[in-house]
């Protein structure tokens, strides 16, 4: 019953041999050892498993792995590196938007997809765009602050004047 | 040790970047279930749980499950150790199940799917028994059901004095003469308040991995709190040699008290020992509602007597704490009840608190340990009293608040209390005296305030170690938890401050019983205080050893020396570099001697335990030391209530906290904002909904916790740090984690009353409940007009 499935994750091609009813989240974590995306509920309500698929934020616990074939999957591991953090990652550090950190990878990936689609997102749009990602530690205040800071930084980069 | 002339505070009190933030934003920080891939042949756990709140197990047949290929162990209550620990619920039910969700049998298999299939092959027959869900019914001498005659006694508590079979304990406070007090009162106000059962809902489900070692011992990786407590629990329950049990604590995805009780580790150990393998158990989100800890629902009766000028002359309270079907019960409600004692000066105080078991999911520690539930009653009562007296709620509180140096009703002298300052700041910030401007439409605006305090339990023992290397880098070793509150960062700051070095030279190592020294766990907001004090001592111990070594080399007395940023200073001027104190090491020629050697760090040790409580008189509850210190806080909210739907939207939240000296102000703000957010859930959204005792809303989809959208706009949330430093805390620090929920619910209820004139005494203020009360009020008002 296992199938060979090709996946493109963080710019690399992978071949996995798994049952087709596995979720993308399970395969990322258990087969590809990319444990940045977390399982908080396994029913699409917490957002800790969010990854970007063809630029859109997707809860990877709700996607079966064959549905991800031929698509570009970006996880938090592919977003930035220690030497070259994505502005969102830097802003989450600088603004104390991280506490326990369990929601952080999913939160950052949702914010990334949001800002890619809407680089000038207002606070209201950020709140609406991220409300599928739950955080129990921060009360969201510093997360909004970080996303706004990253938004401004990204705008500066794309328009240096 | 460190002398005044050398010291300048530079690292503590600063907004130092979290030391764990980089790994967390990169997705590299490892949580327990992230380690699965490290264990080839890992086995997975599934549990059969009771659908009945109270039933006898008539038949339990696991034979079909055992026959399934790839099933490695099946266990039932008969396989469990007879010993029961108060640190954990019973591992599996034996003869009777006592709440809907209790485990009956468990399977370890080579995949989660096979384990689930095996669980479905287990045959069980139940004979339903009468159940009791309401704590006030359960506490009667002849209740509709007895949850379990032994519950509460497992602790071996000397306080166990059952007045009824479901009552686990009773605490009495008898201060002054309450009858005389009430006789002097111009006004007496009596009310009943209640709170719902809610879930911690930390994002990371409970999780552990247990490996049976070939020497008969085990190694546990877990997000449970307190590695040494788990080590002790497991070796005790299973009779394992203490030295062969090792517990390692990766990052923890939140706890809020949930993981203080160890509900996955014992079962997983049982399975690992039986399967002789490595077993992983991660709760599903549904199990996090049904079979993890919950918050204690509390019913509070409160009667307050006051003079016309607002002076409270007497208070009587009855506090009923619903433990659920808990083996780990908070015995007598004493902790919850403390919320009523620590804020106001009440000379004549008569209080009874009870711990009661019911056939509902078990309850325990939850951010504040019962004090927010009791403060809910006290702070609503204060506003109601203020209205009756025609006083401002601020003036009434100002009149009765305890001041530093005064005695509270236990008889304790209060050393540090910044609560009134918190309230004054909050009231000013939300302009409480200015009435809200109402707009057309169904939304009505209102403002409200409240305040509160949380005791710090004088418990536990914390040890810490530092390794000082020849290049000046420091390793900090400790075992308290990092649930997200930032203990690793605080410890790094403390060490950096003691050694006067930049934070980048400090590396924190935490939570491994084979590596890091003893600690209890992170609870009662005491990590900064307990572990922080131990770490300061460890640093000072290492510095003393280094300076001692320097006295010979520098021919100067110890008292003239200090260690500052890698240099030994002699009376303020730099002498030699720390590195030069470490002599070269040669394998054959200079390996001995007592001097400091390169490659061998100086190891400093520190131990701190808070001064214990002084046993109180069991008949009066009076003692000069019941608790340790108190953190305080106040909250003000502005909100709108929709009179057509009952919905509440919080527009503005101002929160001031007295946490003592803030070691990291931004992280303190984070605790305030997080506690405020969590409390919005507890105040207006969250509750367990049952059918015959079985929770029916056990998913994030049905049990809603606050999202971005329930929080006010960023600019409308204000966190104010208003410290009253505590002399014996590190640099005056106390703690903050638990206090940040306390004042929110009553502030919201007071604001709702301000908006629509409806007083709601039961939590949560869900839209349904608010609307129902609005309709009741409309009807009452009409009846009043017609009569």
**DSSP string spanning B465-491?**
EEEE-TTS-EEEEE-S--SSS-HHHHH
Tokens of A108: 């950052």
Tokens of B473: 């880098």
Residues B361 and B289 sit within 8 Å (Cβ to Cβ): yes
Residues B711 and A134 sit within 8 Å (Cβ to Cβ): no
CA B209 and chain centroid, separation? 24
Is B707 an interface residue toward A (CB < 8 Å)?
yes
Is B737 an interface residue toward A (CB < 8 Å)?
no
pLDDT score, position B594 = 76
Distance separating alpha carbons of residues A84 and B721, to the nearest angstrom = 34
pLDDT score, position B162 = 54
- Pick from B20, B22, B714: which is nearest to A141 by CB? B714
Residue B33 has pLDDT above 60, yes or no: yes
Name the residue in chain B with its Cα closest to that of A79.
B26
Answer whether B15 sits within 8 Å of A127, measured CB to CB.
Answer: no
Our CA angle for B225, B656, B417, nearest 5°, is 80
Mean pLDDT of A36-46: 97
User: Which chain B residues are Cβ-neighbours of A30 within 8 angstroms?
Assistant: 36-37
pLDDT score, position B34 = 98
Residue B319 has pLDDT above 60, yes or no: yes
Tokens of B679: 């409390």
Assign B585 a pLDDT band (cuts: 50, 70, 90). Answer: confident
Assign B487 a pLDDT band (cuts: 50, 70, 90). Answer: very high
If DSSP codes are grouped into helix, strand and coil, which group holds residue A140? coil
Distance from CA of A70 to the nearest CA of B (A): 24
- Pick from A41, A123, A135: which is nearest to B285 by CB? A41
Residues 6+ away with beta carbon under 8 Å from B695: B100, B101, B289, B290, B361, B688, B689
Distance separating alpha carbons of residues B725 and B723, to the nearest angstrom = 6
Answer whether A138 sits within 8 Å of B670, measured CB to CB.
Answer: yes
User: Which chain A residues are Cβ-neighbours of B717 within 8 angstroms?
Assistant: 139, 141
Residue B93 has pLDDT above 60, yes or no: yes
Tokens of B732: 């005056």
pLDDT score, position B451 = 98
> B652 has which bridge partners?
B638
- Segment B685-728, tens digit of pLDDT: 999 999 999 999 999 999 999 999 999 999 999 999 999 999 99
pLDDT score, position B315 = 98
Crossing angle of helices B665-684 and A141-158, rounded to 10°: 120
User: Which chain B residues are Cβ-neighbours of A100 within 8 angstroms?
Assistant: 202-204, 251-254, 483-484
pLDDT score, position B156 = 41
Answer whether B18 sits within 8 Å of A93, measured CB to CB.
Answer: yes
Residues B342 and B334 sit within 8 Å (Cβ to Cβ): no
Distance separating alpha carbons of residues A111 and A143, to the nearest angstrom = 10
Residue B591 has pLDDT above 80, yes or no: no
Distance from CA of B406 to the nearest CA of A (A): 35
Tokens of A152: 């401004």
DSSP one-letter code for B610: P
Assign B9 a pLDDT band (cuts: 50, 70, 90). Answer: low
Size of interface A-B (CB pairs under 8 A): 189
pLDDT score, position B169 = 86
Task: Identify which of B195, B630, B627 has the alpha carbon closest to the alpha carbon of residue B453.
Answer: B630
Mean pLDDT of A62-85: 97
Tokens of B334: 């004493």
- Segment B284-310, tens digit of pLDDT: 999 999 999 999 999 999 999 999 999
Residue B163 has pLDDT above 70, yes or no: no
**Cβ-based neighbour number of residue B176 at 10 Å:** 16
Residue B155 has pLDDT above 50, yes or no: no
> Which range (A138-147, B164-173, B367-376, B405-414) has the least confidence?
B164-173
Mean pLDDT of A107-131: 98
Residue B1 has pLDDT above 50, yes or no: no
Answer whether B27 sits within 8 Å of A34, measured CB to CB.
Answer: yes
Distance from CA of A31 to the nearest CA of B (A): 9
> B126 has which bridge partners?
B57
Distance separating alpha carbons of residues B325 and B318, to the nearest angstrom = 21
Residue B514 has pLDDT above 60, yes or no: yes
Using CA atoms, how far residue B193 sits from B188, B355, B378, B762, in Å, is 16, 17, 9, 6
Is B717 an interface residue toward A (CB < 8 Å)?
yes
Q: Which site among B17, B19, B20, B24 would you substitute to test the A interface, given the most A Cβ atoms closer than 10 Å to its Cβ?
A: B24
Tokens of B561: 């020396």
Name the residue in chain B with its Cα closest to that of A35.
B34
Distance separating alpha carbons of residues B435 and B445, to the nearest angstrom = 9
Task: Identify which of A56, A67, A54 has the alpha carbon closest to the alpha carbon of residue A3.
Answer: A67
- Pick from B485, B669, B700: which is nearest to A46 by CB? B700
Distance from CA of B586 to the nearest CA of A (A): 37
Distance separating alpha carbons of residues B485 and B519, to the nearest angstrom = 17
Mean pLDDT of B228-241: 96
Tell me the ipTM for this assembly: 0.98
Percent helix / strand / coil, chain B, rounded to 5: 30, 25, 45
If DSSP codes are grouped into helix, strand and coil, which group holds residue B649? strand
Mean pLDDT of B177-185: 98
Residues B296 and B322 sit within 8 Å (Cβ to Cβ): yes
Answer whether B203 sits within 8 Å of A37, measured CB to CB.
Answer: no
Mean pLDDT of B418-437: 97
User: Which chain B residues are Cβ-neighbours of A48 within 8 angstroms?
Assistant: 203
Phi and psi at A146, nearest 5°, equal -65, -40
- Cα torsion B772, B774, B775, B780 to 10°: value is 120
User: Which chain A residues are Cβ-neighbours of B741 within 8 angstroms?
Assistant: none
Mean pLDDT of chain B: 94
User: Which chain B residues are Cβ-neighbours of A122 within 8 angstroms?
Assistant: none
The domain spans of chain A are 3-78, 87-158
Distance separating alpha carbons of residues B121 and B64, to the nearest angstrom = 6
**Cβ-based neighbour number of residue A40 at 10 Å:** 27
First to last CA, chain B: 79
**Cβ-based neighbour number of residue B286 at 10 Å:** 18
Residue B328 has pLDDT above 90, yes or no: no
pLDDT score, position B204 = 98
Domain range A3-78, CATH architecture:
Roll (3.10)
- Segment B347-384, tens digit of pLDDT: 999 999 999 999 999 999 999 999 999 999 999 999 99
**Cβ-based neighbour number of residue B116 at 10 Å:** 14
pLDDT score, position B2 = 37
DSSP one-letter code for B588: T
Is B26 an interface residue toward A (CB < 8 Å)?
yes
Using CA atoms, how far residue B330 sits from B320, B335, B528, in Å, is 11, 8, 24
Distance separating alpha carbons of residues B261 and B361, to the nearest angstrom = 14
Residues B113 and B40 sit within 8 Å (Cβ to Cβ): no
Answer whether B24 sits within 8 Å of A104, measured CB to CB.
Answer: yes
Burial class (CB in 10 A: 0-12, 13-18, 19+), B150: exposed
User: Which chain B residues are Cβ-neighbours of A102 within 8 angstroms?
Assistant: 31, 202-204, 251, 253-254, 484
Name the residue in chain B with its Cα closest to that of A19.
B113
Is B257 an interface residue toward A (CB < 8 Å)?
no
Distance from CA of A69 to the nearest CA of B (A): 23
Residue B740 has pLDDT above 70, yes or no: yes
Provide the pairing of β-strand B717-721 with B648-658.
parallel
Mean pLDDT of B24-34: 98
Is B15 an interface residue toward A (CB < 8 Å)?
yes
Name the residue in chain A with its Cα closest to that of B666.
A96
Kindly report the length of chain B: 787
- Pick from B30, B254, B709: which is nearest to A137 by CB? B254
Residue B150 has pLDDT above 80, yes or no: no
Distance separating alpha carbons of residues B387 and B119, to the nearest angstrom = 58
Assign B592 a pLDDT band (cuts: 50, 70, 90). Answer: confident
Residue A2 has pLDDT above 70, yes or no: yes
- Segment B262-281, tens digit of pLDDT: 999 999 999 999 999 999 99
Spatial strand order of the sheet with B561-564 comes to B561-564, B567-570, B573-577
Q: Is the peptide bond before A7 cis (omega within 30 degrees of 0)?
A: no
With tokens 């934070």, the residue in question is: B503
What are the structural domains, with CATH classification, of chain B? 4-29+459-608 (3.30.365.10), 32-129+205-252+258-290 (3.90.1170.50), 298-458+616-783 (3.30.365.10)
Residues B57 and B93 sit within 8 Å (Cβ to Cβ): yes
Answer whether A45 sits within 8 Å of B701, measured CB to CB.
Answer: yes
Residues 6+ away with beta carbon under 8 Å from A161: none
Distance from CA of B217 to the nearest CA of A (A): 27
Tokens of B572: 């303020």
Answer whether A138 sits within 8 Å of B30, measured CB to CB.
Answer: no
DSSP secondary structure string for all residues of B414-453 = PS---HHHHHHHHHHHTTTTSPPPP-SSSEEEEEEEEEEE
Distance separating alpha carbons of residues B470 and B465, to the nearest angstrom = 16
Task: Identify which of B104, B109, B1 has the alpha carbon closest to the alpha carbon of residue B50.
Answer: B104
Alpha helices (H) along B176-226: 178-184
Residues A32 and B27 sit within 8 Å (Cβ to Cβ): no
Kindly report the length of chain A: 161
Distance separating alpha carbons of residues A37 and A42, to the nearest angstrom = 12
Half-sphere exposure of B549 (CA within 13 A, CB side): 22
Distance separating alpha carbons of residues B674 and A135, to the nearest angstrom = 9
First to last CA, chain A: 57
The CATH class that applies to domain A87-158 reads mainly alpha
Residue B15 has pLDDT above 60, yes or no: yes
Residue B480 has pLDDT above 90, yes or no: yes
Answer whether A77 sits within 8 Å of B15, measured CB to CB.
Answer: no
Residues B47 and B102 sit within 8 Å (Cβ to Cβ): no
Is B30 an interface residue toward A (CB < 8 Å)?
yes
Is B493 an interface residue toward A (CB < 8 Å)?
no
Residues of chain B numbered 266-295 and touching chain A (CB < 8 Å): 282, 284-285
Distance separating alpha carbons of residues A124 and B540, to the nearest angstrom = 50
DSSP one-letter code for B529: I
pLDDT score, position B4 = 40
pLDDT score, position B10 = 87
Percent of chain B having pLDDT more than 90?
89
Distance from CA of B336 to the nearest CA of A (A): 23
> B660 has which bridge partners?
B733
Answer whether B25 sits within 8 Å of A40, measured CB to CB.
Answer: no
Tokens of A58: 């997707």
pLDDT score, position B3 = 38
If DSSP codes are grouped into helix, strand and coil, which group holds residue A148? helix
Distance separating alpha carbons of residues A14 and A6, to the nearest angstrom = 6
Residue B6 has pLDDT above 50, yes or no: no
């Amino acid at each position: 019953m296992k199938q060979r499935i090709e996946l493109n994750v963080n710019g690399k091609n992978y071949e996995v041999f798994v049952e087709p009813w596995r979720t993308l989240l399970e395969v990322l974590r258990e087969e590809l050892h990319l444990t940045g995306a977390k399982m908080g509920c396994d029913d699409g309500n917490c957002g800790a498993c969010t990854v970007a698929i063809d630029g859109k934020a997707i809860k990877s616990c709700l996607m079966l792995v064959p549905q991800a074939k031929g698509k570009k999957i970006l996880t938090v591991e592919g977003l930035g590196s220690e030497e070259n953090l994505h502005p969102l990652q830097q802003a989450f550090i600088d603004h104390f938007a991280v506490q326990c950190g369990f929601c952080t990878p999913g939160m950052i990936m949702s914010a990334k997809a949001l800002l890619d689609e809407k680089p000038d997102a207002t606070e209201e749009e950020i709140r609406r765009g991220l409300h599928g990602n739950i955080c129990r530690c921060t009360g969201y205040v510093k997360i909004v602050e970080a996303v706004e800071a990253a938004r401004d930084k990204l705008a500066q980069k794309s328009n240096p004047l | 040790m460190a002398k005044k002339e050398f010291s300048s505070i530079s690292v503590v009190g600063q907004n130092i970047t979290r030391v764990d933030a980089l790994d967390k934003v990169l997705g590299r920080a490892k949580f327990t279930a992230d380690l699965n891939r490290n264990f080839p042949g890992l086995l997975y756990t599934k549990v059969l749980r009771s659908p009945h709140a109270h039933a006898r197990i008539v038949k339990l047949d696991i034979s079909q499950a055992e026959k399934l290929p790839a099933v490695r162990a099946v266990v039932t209550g008969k396989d469990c150790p007879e010993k029961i620990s108060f640190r954990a619920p019973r591992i599996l039910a034996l003869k009777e199940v006592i709440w809907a969700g209790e485990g009956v049998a468990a399977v370890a298999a080579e995949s989660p799917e096979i384990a689930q299939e095996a669980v479905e092959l287990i045959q069980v027959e139940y004979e339903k028994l009468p159940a009791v869900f309401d704590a006030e019914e359960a506490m009667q001498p002849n209740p509709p059901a007895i949850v379990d005659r032994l519950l509460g006694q497992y602790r071996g508590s000397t306080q166990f004095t059952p007045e009824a079979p479901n009552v686990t304990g009773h605490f009495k406070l008898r201060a002054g003469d309450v009858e005389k007090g009430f006789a002097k009162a111009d006004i007496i106000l009596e009310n009943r308040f209640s709170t719902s059962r809610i879930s911690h809902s930390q994002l990371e489900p409970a999780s552990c991995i247990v490996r049976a070692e070939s020497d008969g011992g085990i190694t546990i990786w877990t997000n449970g709190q307190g590695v040494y407590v788990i080590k002790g629990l497991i070796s005790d329950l299973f009779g394992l040699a203490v030295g062969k049990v090792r517990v390692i604590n990766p990052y923890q995805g939140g706890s809020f008290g949930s993981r203080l009780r160890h509900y996955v580790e014992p079962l997983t150990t049982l399975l690992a020992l039986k399967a002789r393998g490595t077993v992983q158990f991660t709760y599903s989100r549904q199990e996090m509602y049904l079979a993890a800890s919950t918050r204690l629902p509390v019913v509070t009766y409160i009667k307050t007597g006051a003079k016309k000028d607002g002076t409270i002359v007497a208070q009587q309270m009855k506090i009923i704490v619903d433990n659920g079907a808990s083996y780990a019960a908070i015995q007598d409600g004493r902790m919850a009840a403390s919320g009523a004692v620590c804020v106001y000066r009440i000379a004549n105080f008569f209080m009874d608190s009870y711990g009661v078991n019911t056939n509902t999911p078990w309850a325990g520690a939850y951010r504040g340990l019962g004090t927010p539930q009791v403060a809910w009653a006290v702070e609503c009562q204060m506003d109601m009293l203020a209205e009756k007296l025609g006083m401002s709620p601020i003036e009434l509180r100002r009149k009765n608040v305890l001041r530093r140096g005064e005695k509270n009703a236990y008889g304790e002298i209060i050393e540090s209390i910044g609560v009134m300052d918190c309230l004054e700041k909050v009231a000013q910030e939300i302009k409480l005296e200015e009435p809200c401007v109402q707009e057309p439409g169904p939304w009505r605006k209102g403002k409200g305030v409240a305040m509160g305090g949380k005791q710090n339990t004088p418990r536990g023992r914390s040890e810490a170690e530092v390794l000082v290397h020849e290049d000046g880098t420091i390793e900090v070793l400790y075992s308290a938890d990092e649930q997200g509150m930032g203990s690793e960062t605080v410890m790094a700051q403390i060490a950096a401050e003691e050694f006067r070095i930049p934070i980048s030279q400090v590396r924190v190592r935490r939570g491994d019983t084979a590596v890091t020294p003893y600690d209890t766990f992170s609870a009662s907001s005491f990590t900064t205080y307990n572990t922080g004090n131990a770490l300061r001592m460890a640093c000072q111990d290492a510095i003393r050893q280094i300076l001692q070594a320097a006295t010979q080399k520098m021919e100067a007395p110890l008292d003239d020396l200090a260690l500052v940023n890698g240099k030994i200073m002699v009376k303020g001027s730099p002498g030699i570099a720390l590195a030069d104190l470490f002599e070269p090491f040669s394998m054959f020629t200079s390996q001995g001697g007592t001097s400091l050697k390169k490659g061998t760090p100086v190891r400093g040790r520190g131990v701190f335990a808070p001064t214990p409580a002084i046993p109180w008189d069991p008949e009066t509850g009076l003692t000069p030391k019941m608790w340790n210190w108190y953190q305080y806080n106040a909250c003000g909210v502005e909100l709108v209530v929709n009179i057509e739907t009952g919905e509440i939207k919080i527009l503005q939240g101002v929160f001031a906290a007295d946490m003592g000296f803030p070691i990291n102000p931004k992280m303190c703000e984070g605790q305030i904002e997080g506690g405020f957010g969590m409390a919005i859930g507890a105040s207006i959204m969250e509750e367990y909904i049952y059918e015959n005792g079985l929770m029916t809303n056990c998913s994030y989809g049905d049990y809603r916790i606050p999202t971005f959208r329930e929080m006010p706009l960023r600019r409308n949330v204000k966190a104010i740090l208003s410290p009253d430093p505590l002399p014996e805390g590190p640099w005056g620090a106390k703690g903050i984690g638990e206090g940040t929920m306390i004042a929110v619910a009553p502030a919201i209820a007071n604001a709702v009353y301000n908006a629509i004139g409806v007083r709601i005494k039961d939590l949560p203020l869900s839209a349904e409940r608010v609307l129902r009360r609005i309709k009741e009020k409309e009807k009452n008002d009409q009846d009043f007009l017609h009569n």
